[in-house]
Amino acid sequence: MCRACVNKLAKKECPTCKVSFANIRLAPNPFVQGMVCQLRVKCCQHDDGCDWTGELGVDGRNLKAHDAICPFKLVSCALCARSMPAADFNAHDCPHSQFTHR
């Protein structure tokens, strides 16, 4: 299990065998950690048209870095709350903005 999943557990016990690990110092397995970091992953917006793929990276670093700049990621206008892909945001003609593109 990854650290994030362990931290989300309500009880500090194995979800499969129910053995408690509340008083055990958990440490990553370097071999497994290396394998996970090298996993090839797709962008979370793949189904919306993004074709980025890459290695997951340590703690998902590469996927997170791409997600921060992905033009297909949905963003919301703070004024009208309309959602749109990030690439379309600059052209968004918000009806609540005093600075329209009309």
> What's the pLDDT score for residue 26?
81
> What's the pLDDT score for residue 14?
85
> What's the pLDDT score for residue 46?
96
> What's the pLDDT score for residue 101?
52
Per-residue model confidence as pLDDT tens for the chain (102 residues) = 777 788 888 888 888 898 888 788 888 889 998 999 999 999 999 999 999 999 999 889 999 999 999 999 999 999 999 999 999 998 998 888 776 554
For the chain, the domains span 1-27, 38-94
User: Which residues pair with residue 75 across a beta bridge?
Assistant: 84
> What's the pLDDT score for residue 5?
80
CATH architecture of 38-94: 2-Layer Sandwich (3.30)
> What's the pLDDT score for residue 64?
96
Write the CA distances from 18 to 1, 3, 8, 101, integer angstroms.
14, 17, 15, 59
Q: Are 50 and 70 in contact (CB under 8 A)?
A: yes
> What's the pLDDT score for residue 102?
47
